[in-house]
Amino acid sequence: MKAFLILEDGTVFCGQSIGSTREVISEIVFNTSMTGYLEVLTDPSYAGQAVVMTYPLIGNYGICYEDMESERPWPDGYIVRELSRIPSNFRSQGTIQEFLAKHDIPGIAGIDTRALTKILREKGTMNGMITTNENYNLDEVLPKLKAYTTGKVVEKVTCKEKYVLEGNGPKVALMDFGAKRNIARNLNKRGCQVTVYPALTTAEEILADHPDGIMLSNGPGDPKECTSIIKEIKKLYDSEVPIFAICLGHQLMALANGADTYKMKYGHRGGNHPVKDLKTGRVYISSQNHGYVVNTDTLDPSIAVPAFTNVNDGTNEGLAYTGKNIFTVQFHPEACPGPQDSGYLFDRFMNMMEVNK
């Protein structure tokens, strides 16, 4: 069946329908990872977006449910050049086609994803529609595309109630703004007892459980939409509990302390982004998935200073909070880039909790 991708600038790509055949409007973003497509599909940070995979062949090792980063896939749509028809992998439990159809996610294959990515790089991230309707009317579609916003998606992806991953070590409160499973796994394998809290949990409830440390997770959408969460994070900042934050959590902590964020032209999404530790000068290969960034010009140095920077474009990749046991990063140390380049950040957090006792 034919499918069409219509961008808000009027560009139309024609390909084959994969997965669900329902029509969807979403923000179109691209990911440069060569592998890890299941982790991309199940990353809650993609809620409200349709993902373009720049690598030309996707699906060749199938689906392995053990590798999922959450209980379900979150993107609104999936866009690829070529989808492997027969996966080859002893761990494979199915195909991407079956996975997308099972979860009612529409997609399109057979389009020139390199040309699409060039458009998004030159013009910036834009909205688009995936449809199987061959009689679409551009004059009707384009106003709908321009009007689309992702809205408040954190509430959509967070857990419904708190739960505990048992451990014999420090007690860590993990705020779930759309947390990838590997964040909790990294803490758990270091012995931590991890209590995962829904995004709208109050600071009072978290602090009443007397955690040794607090973890602020990744998540989707514009950080400025999370107004009530930002107020609670400021209360956590004012406590003396060590805090480590990743991606959206990093942005929310900055906003809670008077800094500003802005939307990037096309964001960072992929597994090969170099970041520099400003303290040591060492460069690490990182996994990233974000469309917003902290504006370091708005930082009060008495509150926080840049700790990491992106080698490619100089944007902020992390902050160290002055006089506080708090550090935050924009990238994903739990995602095994490098493959273990930045895993030491979890060890730094462990040390912070130990010293604070």
Task: Tell me the catalytic residues.
Answer: 247, 332, 334
What's the CA gap between 161 and 197, in Å, rounded? 7
Is 251 among the annotated ligand-binding positions?
Answer: yes
Is 219 among the annotated ligand-binding positions?
Answer: yes
Is 281 among the annotated ligand-binding positions?
Answer: no
| Residue 347 token pair | 């060890």
What's the CA gap between 290 and 330, in Å, rounded? 8
Length of the chain: 357
Based on its alpha-carbon atoms, the radius of gyration of the chain, rounded to whole angstroms, reads 20
Rounded to 5°, angle at Cα 130 from 129 and 134: 105
| Residue 168 token pair | 């014999």
Is 289 among the annotated ligand-binding positions?
Answer: yes
Is 345 among the annotated ligand-binding positions?
Answer: no
Per DSSP, 31 falls in state E
Is 248 among the annotated ligand-binding positions?
Answer: yes
281 sits in the region (left: phi over 0; alpha: psi -120 to 50; else beta) called left
Per DSSP, 23 falls in state -
Within a 10 A sphere around the Cβ of 44, how many other Cβ atoms? 28
The closest of 112, 127, 117 to 33, measured between CA atoms, is: 117
Cβ neighbours of residue 357 under 8 Å, at least 6 residues apart? 212
Task: List the binding residues for L-glutamine.
Answer: 45, 219, 221, 248, 251, 289, 291-292
Q: Could you tell me which residues are annotated as the binding site?
A: 45, 219, 221, 248, 251, 289, 291-292
